[in-house]
Amino acid sequence: MHDFKVKLEESGSTEFFAFSQKLNRVFTSTDKTITFSMVMNPHTPLLIRIMLVCSNVIFQPLSRCSYHSRGDSTTFRDHVVTHKDSMAKYFGTADGVYFRERLAILVPIEETGQKSISLEFKCLSSCYKIKKVSTALIFTLEDEISGNILGRQVLNVHVSKNFKRDMELAEKAASVKRRLSGEFESEAAGPSSSKRTIVDLSELKFLLPQEVVREFLEGTQQFIKAKLYNAEDDGLKGSLTTCLEKVNVMIDNFASNSVESGEHDYCKRKV
């Protein structure tokens, strides 16, 4: 209905950023201006929420590290992503967990249904608050009055000092990983099978202290949700959904049952 689209403006790309078609990811550095063009059909008053998230740990809030926020006395010193638009506003808190509490940029949309906004990143992907997680920019189209979500676009991003070199290394690593994965699946499936290889973990057993069981299960739940969030293959989505349902049941059972012993036997569960 709203035909919401977001694209990178190519001008200045070699100096300020590089886009990897293989990885579907933009590589850039701090304080480099990247401009995005956004197009939609404006049937109602609209706004766009721009938010940096952990794409592999989707419930982890992101904020600027102490090094890169040092000496910054602005009201948006916690924001990793900053804007250059007089109409846009900063929103959210550094410890916000829920969607509308998180650090974000809110951009009102004019009646033309077109908008360009320039963004800059203030932290590197190696900063301690972001390190070891994959990051993505989420552009969410919302009804300004009701708050209903009308569209969403996601762009994976990596911020580093030498972003061109890092893109080359990441593409090479991805190529090697795909090749090795293909060889493994081919050997595991055998010459006459074209089905997805499923690893049976039903015999995997854990004996865990009661006080860490819930944390273990919730960590597994978060991991599967993150993988499901990024999954594109329907078969993989189905397998992950089944796993998630089983983990959810286990969490519910653990919460509702009174465990008297000091250990909880987490066994014979296929994940």
Q: At residue 88, what is the residue type?
A: A
Please name which of 133, 163, 169 lies closest in space to residue 53, comparing C-alpha atoms.
133
CA distance 88 to 111: 16
Q: Which residues pair with 157 in a beta bridge?
A: 26, 135
Q: Does 123 count as an annotated binding residue?
A: yes
CA distance 26 to 94: 24
Token pair for residue 198? 């499923």
Q: Does 267 count as an annotated binding residue?
A: no
Q: Does 243 count as an annotated binding residue?
A: no
Scan for tokens 């410890």, then name that residue.
Answer: 95
CA distance 116 to 98: 27
Q: Does 65 count as an annotated binding residue?
A: yes
Q: At residue 143, what is the residue type?
A: D
Specify whether the CB–CB gap between 26 and 113 falls below 8 A.
no
From the annotation, which residues make up the binding site for Zn(2+)? Answer: 65, 68, 123, 127
From the annotation, which residues make up the binding site? Answer: 65, 68, 123, 127
